[in-house]
Structure 1
């Protein structure tokens, strides 16, 4: 979508799904609700009509298992003045969960009400499993320009940590109506600076401090969600964040979410426009639009760190570690190395416990220990790595490589042009052990010697998740059904599939059809929707498992799943872990080679 800057009216940000085989439009979801739709009443008068923006600003995430897509939506145009769009402005600045097949709304959460700060949701929602009170919860996390991290149960949108609606300052710009409150998550803590006072002004050099106090001292203090006014004001975090489009990476081994953030404010004021202009007020400054809160050398005007890499334990909501990310070479030469620097570009985390990230405006590419945040490796690039790295295994060498795109871009820093390249690095030269091997050895040390044993029962048993349709395994077994009547083997032999609504209705169109649960399934089938079953047994993505091979070995379902036949509500009875699997293999005199279940090229 292309629209003129600063125009509030234009093409909509509607989200569309197309059939990849035919190109046919399958569904459309209007992100600005029309009359009669959920959220329409959050737009005053005709503010919803022809509203530009409110589009999927960051990449979309897909939950294949539950048939859901997650969208991070942008702010409505015009970004900094909303007199013609009074109200909360749904679904702007919201995380949306839609049904993959139909585009039907499942849930939403608005992270910014009536955005006046360009605080669109720039990052792809991150899908993960959170461990809480003996339960595994399918979750989704959204990192934001404000530095806040919002974590939800991705099936129903319930926040996994409390969120408070707090009063915020109100606008004095004529015609504007700031929303009275904004959401503040109580956990995790903010990952970026959300306020600046005179006491926070930098002292990295006398010149920098003098410039910043003379230029910006009169507009301090400043805090998050201060609205713009007719005089110069500071927004902290600024329009680059906090976090940005680079998003976050997640390590299922530790439960850590890795987020890089910038502490870089932006300054501006609202200027009255001549009569007849498209907008009554425009935002800017004598330095131009998007003027940064920095000195003449582009050193941010508050004390360092100016950029950080954060590890958030999503099981607890606490920050596990936080380290400065990046250097300023001129300051490093003066003995000030730990400043961090503003950044754009994401991280990846490997199964071996390494976090790789470029992003910084210092031409560097780094690797950190995922558990501690210690910088393990750094190299100088030809230019900035304003990109998210990727990793792969070489087919011929069976070695792991990490690649990052290098170039100018990024709309940040001093470099407007420079060389472009793909920089590739090989991990762990021959004879050098990797962190993955250390992790593996630590896990193997937990396995007792001996002839092996059956997978143990979990005590106390895990809580049963709430399913969309009540389903009794005991009742179906009593009716004479076996496991494979409802659970078909996938074509690749890896998974036993969960029941489809069509499969269920093949029986229930004439069996117990008057029950509310069956009527609900009947309606789902009519609408072409599937049942959003919650998986009880889930293996990490880095584990290779074949149901077909276990069936061929005559292994009973009960060995891994327990006495499901006796359960009215399905819950996990048996431990599924590397220790349990290896002990079971030892008992049956089956290979316990690492390469059987893992790609040991890591």
Structure 2
């Protein structure tokens, strides 16, 4: 995962933008041009699906709705119609270590919305009015937690009416519990575990405060709720297991456990889980017809040194894994990085779509990655649909570790991120600034993507923030267009021998990533000039459209402005760091917040033109969703609560947008 590591570092980014804005306002330089690609696509048919039943819209994770009521011709009339405040905002008392992020995407089931706040308060709203129906506060223990967030909840309806909890909401918590609540009144389901909750700490102890949490929604499929977990990065080799577990959605009984460190799965009952095994903290996808859940995995802790990792731990790390829903057995594994020592874990939700390949329909899985690769696989067996080539990559790492001789490249799909930097790519506001960046670049090691960490310092591009992160990508299955929001930021990773680090700590230096149990500590930080400005030229945030049929880039645009990252509201359209995802609609629109400014935007999915934007009361670092209310009116909804890591405006809002009914529009004229 990407971490800012301290509010001071986040502030450093903000100050960097302040300097840029100040000089940009004086006209000292202009934004470099992005290349544009043009393409045509067939017009989508109308659709009427009224709900948003899972985090990514449905179990496929496409982030697509066929609704067409809002389209390019009327999106200019879109306006905020209600907003709701959760009470779990910046005024909420928190532990000193807590950095909150409101990353939730609500579900819409029947006439209600369901979502969670950063501290796992589960809330239901009336989908038409935004009025609160109920809330449940699990009183989570946030001690020691760095990232405080909850991306969403899940839903299950029993086929046989059972009175209480026939419809239930499943949610994880950052202190390691799985909750089941009645969707009608928010009360715990008494038949689930102990009074509506199951502890996920079993087989995981000891767990230090903040070292294990659930930040993504359970995947509910085939009568089970499947959960992974976030394990705190870079602290120690002795951290909780990355085990993935399936629980009976009615009783809470453990059905199976899958541990990425084991050669054989599922884990036999009663056996311990492997300490520190690669975890799966992101959002899962599922194909009920195939009986498979698709799990994106991370790597063995710590991130930047792997000399202690076993072959079994490496084999399932930084991969997408297909697991049988009924048994917990591994069906197939596709690894996106071999022996990952860059923190290039698979953060993005796998996206399922049926593609026409050589005239035949193929059930596909599209996996975007931090390194900017887009892999397209047959989700039945994990074999690439479009060619993947093992290419030689830079070798040589610190003593005691190793680096893979080759890495997989998706050679028949466009990359979402440049593969390397050169001295000519170094950038600055002044000749001095640029010269400093060029000198530093030459001092450090960089031979392109997958240059191993080193004692001299390695420039990683992309950084561990990645190109694509947990916001994943959206796919329009009718137009065959993929939309990705990415970051283009470099970092410098320097491996510090343990003896030297111990001396620094004794002298009063604080170790953010101690990596206990290894010979080194990794010092990872953004590649910035003395002014605190990125040494790589803008844009630092980009929105990209890919034609999946032609496998070409349709268009690219900078994503986000400097509007809310400086004391003066100067909206320079340079593209800024972003976190969250996009939504595509049948009306031909891409809705996205994500950028570290307080806007929700709409782009034309075919041309890339920004055709609408609206101010949000706080940062929109979440993925928007859409639905129809009981009267057939379409809404677009986003969580606007900001992201402490990105330094965006913090808040506690859910904001709904819609077009005013025709009679009200006429009355206003």
- Establish whether TM, by shorter chain, passes 0.5: yes
- Aligned-partner Cα distance in 2 for 1:218–1:6: 28
Query: Residue 637 of structure 2 is aligned with which of 403, 409, 420?
Result: 403
Residues 376 and 428 of structure 1: is their aligned pair in 2 closer, same or farther, counting only changes over 3 Å? farther
* Residue aligning to 1:307: 541
1:69 is displaced (CA, Å) by 0.7
Task: Quickly say closer, same or farther: Cα 1:25–1:331, change in 2 above 3 A.
Answer: closer
- Contact 1:222/1:235 (8 A) holds in 2: no
Q: Secondary structure at the match of 2:315?
A: coil
The yes-or-no answer on 1:272 pairing with 2:506 is: no
Partner of 2:283: 59
| Residue from 9, 23, 30 that aligns with 2:252 | 23
Structure 1 runs not aligned, ≥5 long: 39-47, 285-289, 434-602
1:260 aligned residue: 485
User: Given that residues 445 and 456 in structure 2 are in contact (C-alpha distance below 8 angstroms), is that contact kept between their aligned partners in structure 1?
Assistant: no
8 Å contact from structure 2 (residues 446, 458) kept in 1: no
Aligned residues: 415
Aligned-pair CA distance for 1:53: 4.1
Runs of 4+ in structure 1 off by over 6 angstroms are: 330-336
Task: Please report how far the alpha carbon of residue 244 of structure 1 lies from its aligned counterpart in structure 2 after TM superposition.
Answer: 0.2
Equivalent residue, structure 2, for 1:327: 561
Distance across 2 between alignment mates of 1:389 and 1:140: 22
Structure 1 residue corresponding to 2:652, chosen from 404, 412, 420: 420
> Does structure 1 residue 78 correspond to structure 2 residue 302?
yes
Alignment of 1:560-571 (within 5 A): none
- Of 207-216 and 291-300, more deviation after overlay is shown by 207-216
Matched, 1:236 2:461: yes
Q: Which residue of 2 aligns with 1:365?
A: 600
After TM superposition, give the deviation of residue 171 of structure 1 in Å: 2.6
More strand by share: 2
- Tell me how far 1:202 sits from its aligned partner: 2.0
Q: State how far apart, in whole Å, the 1-side matches of 2:347 and 2:397 are.
A: 28
Task: Find the partner of 2:378 among 153, 159, 164.
Answer: 153
Between stretches 248-257 and 315-324, larger displacement belongs to 315-324
Partner of 1:348: 583
Change in Cα spacing, 1:138 to 1:372, as seen in structure 2 (3 Å) is same
CA distance in 2, matches of 1:255, 1:232: 41
Q: Cα distance, 1:315 vs. partner?
A: 2.5
Contact kept? 2:576, 2:596, Cα under 8 Å: yes
**Change in CA separation of 1:137 and 1:205 when aligned onto 2, cut-off 3 Å:** farther
> Which structure has the greater CA radius of gyration?
1
Counterpart secondary structure, 2:495: strand
Quick one: distance in 1 between partners of 2:660 and 2:383? 42
Alignment of 1:406-555 (within 5 A): 406-409=640-643, 411-412=645-646, 414-415=647-648, 418-427=650-659, 430=662
- Supply the distance in 2 between the matched residues of 1:295 and 1:302 (Cα, whole angstroms): 10
Cα 1:103–1:427 change in 2 (3 A) is farther
Provide the C-alpha distance between the structure 2 equivalents of 1:178 and 1:137, rounded to a whole number of angstroms: 35
How far off is 1:147 after superposition? 0.6
Q: CA deviation at 1:215?
A: 4.8
Aligned to 1:385, the other structure's residue is in SS state coil
Q: CA deviation at 1:100?
A: 1.4
Instruction: Give the 3 Å change call, closer, same or farther, for CA 429–180 of structure 1 in structure 2.
Output: farther
TM-fit CA distance, 1:204 = 5.2
From 314, 317, 328, give the equivalent of 2:551. Answer: 317
Alignment of structure 1 residues 38-53 onto 2, 5 Å: 50-53=274-277
Cα shift at 1:322: 1.8
- Give how far 1:187 is off: 2.3
- Per-residue Cα deviation, 1:172-211 (whole angstroms, up to 9, x for no partner): 3111111111101102121112211111122456575355
Q: 1:53 to 1:297 in 2, by over 3 A?
A: farther
Report matched runs for 1:116-127 at 5 Å: 116-127=341-352
Corresponding position of 2:38? none
Structure 2: give runs of 5+ residues left out of the alignment. 1-210, 213-230, 267-271, 503-515
CA–CA distance in structure 2, aligned partners of residues 335 and 49 of structure 1? 52
Q: CA deviation at 1:428?
A: 7.1
Q: Is the 8 A contact 1:161 1:317 kept in 2?
A: no
CA shift, 1:137, in A, is: 1.0
State the SS of the aligned residue for 1:274. Answer: helix
Cross-structure match for 2:119: none
Q: Contact 1:386/1:406 (CA < 8 Å) preserved in 2? A: yes
Find the counterpart in structure 2 of residue 92 from structure 1: 317
Cα distance change of structure 1 residues 376 and 299 upon mapping to structure 2, 3 Å threshold: farther
Inter-partner Cα distance in structure 1 for 2:587 and 2:663: 16
Asked if the contact 1:87/1:179 (under 8 Å) is kept, the reply is no
- 1 CA distance for matches of 2:474 and 2:561? 22
Q: Secondary structure at the match of 2:499?
A: coil
Change (3 A) 1:111 1:179: same
Higher RCO (CA 8 Å, separation ≥ 6 residues): 2
Cα gap change, 1:167/1:428 in structure 2, threshold over 3 Å: closer, same or farther? farther
Distance in 2 separating the partners of 1:171 and 1:51: 28
The 5 Å alignment of 1:218-233 reads 218-219=443-444, 221-233=446-458
SS in 2 for 1:373: coil
Contact 1:57 1:120 in 2 (8 A): no
Per the alignment, do residues 352 and 214 of structure 1 end up closer, same or farther by CA in structure 2, a change over 3 Å counting?
A: same
Partner Cα distance (2:354, 2:546) in 1:
14
Instruction: Give the Cα separation in 2 of the matches to 1:19 and 1:189.
Output: 41
For residue 170 of structure 1, give the secondary structure of its aligned residue in structure 2.
coil
SS at match of 1:326: coil
Instruction: Specify the SS of the correspondent of 2:395.
Output: coil
TM-fit CA distance, 1:78 = 1.5
